[in-house]
């Protein structure tokens, strides 16, 4: 990623309200770097789509200013912004062929005929749809329509492309292959992409950075691995990936470790992320894959659990156990180690490092 | 060789399939049967019978069968011979005895004016005829019109078993006795004027409906449901009111001392002595018909517009099209199906409209349908009325056929 400008797109103190009673987006500050693939991730109603629509120009911010390439764009109508957009249901023009769909943004820009043809050929090749020029959108499969929509958003060389849950309507396999394809297109063109999704797998696969939205605010803005490994609050921890939690009270706190007494009365050594003083309530987050079964190495936390349920998942087996009063503690056991004999009701020794076990806000 | 496929109970698959399908088809037919019979007996057959009247003259032919046969040898160049006049005398005598000479008089009068009085007078004097003397002279003695060869020509024409002359009359043409077809004298021409006016009004009303319905349908399709339902009720409200009541309301509104004129005068837009002529002319017909037919344009437009995703317009503007360009290139073409469906509905309804032009149209605002009604009820020239109705029906069918060719009837949606 060759980022030229770190604030290619800039949201400054942006608020948005539809009904005058509730803020859908609250005091949003967000910088998007040039050439970046940034994903706005969050549950529905978190304000991510509204943020995208404000950037596209279909919604006006109630307060604050949005800058695009250094210019404030609040008062620029969508058709003058020069931002490409891929819509949730593709929004292909049903009465125009693939070629005419792609030619539309170019004709609007008065590009001459031969160049239109050249650009369309190039773009269709990029999305591997050469030969589909004369098809009507209704004659294409969902995946092909998706590619046309992407091609149409890119064909006029916009500096910024917005994508609003573009893969939502595709089946699982197609969605995964399209994720890689979009990632490759982004890498080869170097165009800035702002992508909205509620699918964390999609976000983790494609993005340079992810902004996790909840309740109209960005909860965490960081790279995919950081987001997964080091969530800064309990919302991010629970929203991204699978997560086991305990609640408890901080008893002792020092740099790098804290002793926390869980509600069931045991003490866990945890990594203090969002707790500062003893007596504070905390929610402890622990990824299932960071838990060792029958631990023999030196681990700060070692407990015994009881198996409640075993669910076969193909490549791995999920085991639900009761641990420290938590009946929904999940373990992921890779099926390669199938020599492990698991039965409901068995006792299982578990252990984990204090570093992987993060004490977050309550 | 393809092996015979049998179902599990051993029957041939093709036979079994037909059996099952037949049961299903019979059920479907039985469900539709009452309506089908009703339409055939109460609608299709009467219509064809009526249409038949436009060319049928069998009754007249039966009254004067022999006269008609004898006249076949008469070329109409000079006054008819005694064979014709004597046959006519005897047949007319039978008619007077059986009291159907009045019908003959009426029928012949359609062929040529003056026949009513001619036949009536002749019938009264028939008993004074000397059956051994020259009949033609005696006819001329009774009434000098019998000396005019045109009446004898009309008699020959008027007793044909069937004819297409009413269709010529429909377009203000007539067939001379020598077979040439000519326009009728200018002061008698009325039908062509009415046809042209009918088409003009139908096209004009369709256009006005389109102009008024397009924005409102768009609004209906984008408003949230609770508002659009309310608006839809406003659009459909006219449907729940009797057509006669609505037209009468327009009379109250549009007349010279009506609400509209009063308002304009009291606001000072129009002087009291120059109140607008909004009724008993084309303006009245136009205003009232547009209002009455508006829902027929709104409904198909609305149903098509509702299916157009708002993201299409957004997509177009995001690609750099101004809202107007996006409308012209994307939204408008996607509503063609609705426009054509609405237009054909309004046009077909308008071209045969009757009550409204009859009530608010006056002499300058009546349409061909009012002329048909006139011939049905006043002049009692049913042949001409049905000939006009047939032309109207064919015109509508042609429009429908064109629509099906260009747009396809499957694309018609009404909500």
**CB-based contact A247:A237 (threshold 8 Å):** no
pLDDT digits (tens, 9 = 90+) for A25-58: 888 888 898 889 999 998 888 888 899 999 999 9
Task: Give the pLDDT mean for A1-10.
Answer: 70
Nearest residue to B155 (alpha-carbon basis) of B107, B121, B193, B120? B107
Interface touch A91/B314, C-beta < 8 Å? yes
Task: Report the share of chain A in percent with pLDDT over 90.
Answer: 14
The pLDDT tens digits for B38-67 are 999 998 998 888 888 888 888 888 888 888
Nearest Cα neighbor of B412 from B308, B247, B316, B300 is B300
Q: What is the pLDDT of residues B350-388, one digit of tens each?
A: 998 888 888 888 888 788 999 999 988 988 888 889 999
A270-311 tens-digit pLDDT? 888 777 777 788 888 888 888 888 777 777 788 888 888 888
Q: What is B194-411's CATH superfamily?
A: MetI-like (1.10.3720.10)
Q: What is the dihedral of CA B203, B206, B208, B209, to 10 degrees?
A: 170
- Cα B157 to its chain centre, rounded Å, is 27
Q: Which residue of A has its CA nearest to B329?
A: A104
Q: Three-class SS of residue B193?
A: helix
The verdict on a CB contact (< 8 Å) between A56 and B318 is yes
Phi, psi at A32, each rounded to 5°? -120, 125
pLDDT of residue B413: 56
Percentage of chain B surpassing pLDDT 90? 22
Question: What are A326's strand-pairing partners?
Answer: A323
Nearest Cβ partner for B318 among A78, A88, A94: A78
Q: Which residues pair with A301 in a beta bridge?
A: A352
Query: Does residue A77 belong to the interface with chain B, where contact is any CB pair within 8 Å?
Result: yes
Whole-structure pTM value:
0.78
E strands, A215-266, are 217-222, 244-254, 257-262
On whether the CB atoms of residues A284 and A247 are closer than 8 A, the answer is yes
Quick: pLDDT tens for A91-105. 999 999 999 999 999
A85 interaction partners in chain B (CB closer than 8 Å): 314-315, 318
Q: Which of chain B's residues have a Cβ under 8 Å away from the Cβ of A146? A: none
pLDDT of residue A223 exceeding 60, the answer is yes
Give residue-wise pLDDT tens across range B107-151. Answer: 888 888 888 888 888 888 888 888 888 888 888 888 888 888 888
The Cα–Cα gap between B50 and B43 comes to 11
Q: Do residues A166 and A135 touch, judged by C-beta distance below 8 A?
A: no
Q: Are A209 and A38 in contact (CB under 8 A)?
A: yes
- Tens of pLDDT, residues B94-105: 888 888 888 888
**Residue B337, min C-alpha distance to chain A (Å):** 12
**Cβ pair B346, B293 in contact under 8 A:** yes
Which residues pair with residue A306 across a beta bridge?
Answer: A322, A347
Percent of chain B's residues with pLDDT above 70: 97
Question: What pLDDT shows up at residue A238?
Answer: 83
- The rounded distance, in Å, linking the Cα atoms of A33 and A30 is 10
Q: Which of B309, B318, B337, B338 should we substitute to test contact with A (largest number of A Cβ atoms within 10 Å)?
A: B318
**pLDDT reported for residue B3:** 67
Q: Cβ A108–B330 below 8 Å, yes or no?
A: no
pLDDT digits (tens, 9 = 90+) for B35-44: 999 999 998 9
Provide the residue count of chain B. Answer: 415
Which of the listed CATH numbers 3.30.420.40, 3.40.50.150, 2.40.50.100, 3.30.300.30 matches domain A243-360? 2.40.50.100
The partner residue sitting opposite A91, judged by closest CB among B312, B323, B329, is B312
| Residue among B181, B295, B169 nearest B232 (CA) | B295
Confidence of residue B196 (pLDDT cuts 50, 70, 90): very high
Query: Which site among A19, A76, A85 would you substitute to test the B interface, given the most B Cβ atoms closer than 10 Å to its Cβ?
Result: A85
Q: How far is B411 from chain A (nearest CA, A)?
A: 14
Residue A2 scores a pLDDT above 50: no
8 A C-beta contact, residue B243 and residue B384 = no
Q: How many CA atoms lie within 13 A of B394 on its CB side?
A: 8
Give residues with Cβ within 8 angstroms of A103, minimum separation 6.
A116, A120
Contact B319 A77 (CB under 8 A): no
Instruction: Render pLDDT for A190-214 as a digit per residue (tens, 0 to 9).
Output: 899 999 998 888 888 888 999 998 8
How many DSSP H helices and E strands does chain A contain? 8, 20
Q: Is the pLDDT of residue A1 over 60?
A: no
Q: Which secondary-structure segment (H or E) carries B133?
A: none
Q: Sheet harboring A63-68: ordered strands across?
A: A23-32, A9-17, A63-68, A71-72
What does the angle CA A115 – CA A121 – CA A124 come to, to the nearest 5 degrees? 135
The predicted model gives B180-195 an average pLDDT of 86
Tell me which DSSP letter residue B146 carries. G
**C-alpha distances in angstroms, A64 versus A39, A160, B76, B265?**
21, 21, 99, 53
Least confident stretch, B157-171, B298-312, B364-378: B157-171
> Any chain A CB within 8 A of the CB of B181?
no
pLDDT at A3: 44
| CB count in 10 Å sphere of residue B102 | 14
Q: How far apart are CA A167 and CA A88, in angstroms?
A: 7
pLDDT at site B173: 86
Beta bridge partners of A214: A217
C-alpha closest to that of A357 among A225, A255, A245, A266: A245
- Other beta carbons less than 10 A from residue B336's beta carbon: 14
Q: What are the chain A neighbours of B314 within 8 Å (beta carbons)?
A: 56, 58, 78, 85, 87, 91
CB B202 within 8 A of CB B210: no
Residue B330: closest C-alpha in chain A: A93
Mark which residues 100-129 of A lie under 8 Å from B by CB. Answer: 104-105, 108-109
> Residue B415 above 70 pLDDT?
no
Mean of the per-residue pLDDT values for chain A?
85
Give me the residue spans of the domains in chain B: 1-46, 59-159, 194-411
Q: Mean pLDDT over residues A240-248, rounded?
A: 83
Please name the fold of domain A9-234: Rossmann fold (3.40.50)
Confidence of residue B10 (pLDDT cuts 50, 70, 90): confident
Q: DSSP string of B288-357?
A: HHHHHHHHHHHHHHHHHHHTS-HHHHHHHHHTT--HHHHIIIIIHHHTHHHHHHHHHHHHHHHHT--HHH
The structural domains of chain A, with segments of one domain joined by +, span 9-234, 243-360
Instruction: Answer for the pair A273, A315: CB distance below 8 angstroms, yes or no.
Output: no
């Amino acid at each position: 990623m060759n980022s030229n400008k770190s604030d290619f797109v800039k949201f400054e103190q942006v608020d948005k309200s539809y009904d005058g009673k509730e803020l859908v987006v609250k005091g949003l500050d967000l910088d998007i770097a040039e050439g970046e693939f940034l994903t706005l991730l969050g549950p529905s109603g978190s304000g991510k789509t509204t943020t995208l629509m404000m950037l596209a120009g279909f919604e006006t911010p109630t307060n604050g200013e949005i800058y695009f390439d250094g210019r404030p764009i609040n008062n620029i109508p969508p058709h003058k912004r020069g931002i490409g957009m891929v819509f949730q249901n593709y929004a292909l023009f049903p009465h125009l062929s693939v070629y005419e769909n792609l030619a539309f943004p170019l004709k609007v820009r008065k590009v001459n005929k031969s160049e239109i043809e050249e650009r369309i050929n190039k773009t269709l090749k990029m999305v591997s749809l050469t030969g589909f020029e004369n098809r009507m959108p209704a004659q294409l499969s969902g995946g092909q329509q998706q590619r046309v929509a992407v091609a149409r958003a890119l064909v006029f060389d916009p500096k910024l492309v917005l994508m609003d849950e573009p893969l939502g309507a595709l089946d699982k396999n197609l969605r995964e292959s399209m994720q890689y394809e979009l990632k490759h297109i982004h890498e080869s063109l170097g165009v800035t992409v702002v992508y909205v999704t509620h699918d964390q797998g999609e976000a983790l696969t494609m993005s340079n950075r992810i902004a996790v939205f909840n309740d109209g605010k960005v909860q965490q803005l960081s790279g995919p691995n950081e987001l997964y490994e080091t969530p800064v609050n309990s919302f991010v921890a629970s929203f991204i990936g699978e997560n086991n939690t305990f609640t408890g009270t901080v008893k002792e706190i020092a740099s790098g470790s804290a002793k926390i007494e869980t509600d069931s009365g045991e003490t866990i050594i945890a990594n203090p992320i969002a707790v500062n003083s003893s007596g504070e309530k905390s929610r402890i987050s622990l990824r299932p894959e960071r838990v060792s079964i029958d631990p023999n190495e030196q681990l700060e936390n070692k407990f015994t659990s009881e198996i409640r349920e075993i669910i076969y998942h193909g490549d791995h087996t999920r085991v639900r156990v009761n641990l420290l009063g938590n009946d929904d503690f999940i373990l992921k056991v890779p099926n390669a180690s199938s020599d492990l004999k698991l039965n409901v009701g068995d006792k299982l020794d578990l252990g984990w490092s204090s570093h992987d076990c993060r004490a977050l806000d309550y | 060789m393809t092996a015979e496929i049998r179902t599990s109970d051993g029957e041939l698959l093709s036979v079994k399939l037909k059996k099952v399908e037949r049961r299903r088809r019979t059920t479907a037919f039985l469900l539709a049967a009452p309506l089908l019979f009703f339409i055939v007996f109460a609608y299709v057959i009467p219509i064809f019978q009526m249409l038949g009247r436009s060319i049928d003259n069998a009754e007249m032919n039966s009254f004067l069968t022999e006269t008609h046969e004898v006249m076949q040898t008469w070329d109409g160049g000079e006054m008819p011979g005694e064979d014709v006049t004597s046959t006519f005398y005897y047949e007319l005598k039978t008619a007077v005895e059986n009291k159907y000479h009045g019908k003959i008089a009426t029928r012949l009068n359609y062929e040529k004016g003056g026949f009513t009085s001619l036949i009536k007078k002749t019938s009264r004097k028939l008993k004074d005829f000397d059956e051994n003397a020259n009949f033609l002279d005696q006819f001329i003695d009774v009434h000098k019109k019998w000396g005019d060869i045109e009446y004898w020509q009309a008699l020959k024409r008027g007793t044909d078993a069937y004819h297409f002359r009413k269709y010529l009359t429909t377009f203000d043409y007539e067939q001379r006795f020598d077979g040439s077809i000519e326009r009728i004298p200018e002061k008698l021409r009325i039908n062509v004027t009415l046809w042209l006016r009918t088409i003009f009004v139908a096209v004009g009303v369709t256009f006005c409906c389109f102009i008024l319905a397009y924005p409102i349908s768009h609004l209906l399709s984008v408003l949230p449901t609770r508002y659009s339902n309310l608006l839809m009720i406003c659009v459909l409200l006219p449907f729940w009111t009797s057509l006669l009541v609505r037209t009468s309301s327009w009379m109250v509104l549009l007349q010279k001392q009506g609400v509209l004129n009063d308002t304009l005068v009291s606001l000072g837009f129009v002087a009291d002595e120059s109140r607008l002529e909004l009724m008993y002319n084309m303006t009245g017909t136009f205003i009232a018909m547009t209002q009455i037919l508006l829902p027929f344009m709104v409904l198909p437009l609305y149903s098509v517009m509702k299916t157009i995703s708002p993201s299409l317009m957004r997509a177009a503007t995001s690609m750099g099209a101004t809202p107007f360009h996006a409308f012209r290139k994307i939204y408008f073409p996607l509503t063609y199906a609705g426009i054509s469906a609405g237009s054909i509905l309004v046009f077909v309804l308008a071209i045969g409209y009757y009550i409204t032009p009859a009530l608010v149209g006056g002499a300058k605002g009546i349409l061909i349908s009012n002329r048909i009604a006139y011939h049905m009820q006043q002049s009692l020239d049913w042949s001409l009325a049905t000939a006009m109705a047939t032309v109207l029906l064919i015109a509508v069918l042609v429009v429908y056929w064109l629509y099906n060719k260009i747009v396809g009837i499957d694309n018609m949606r009404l909500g």
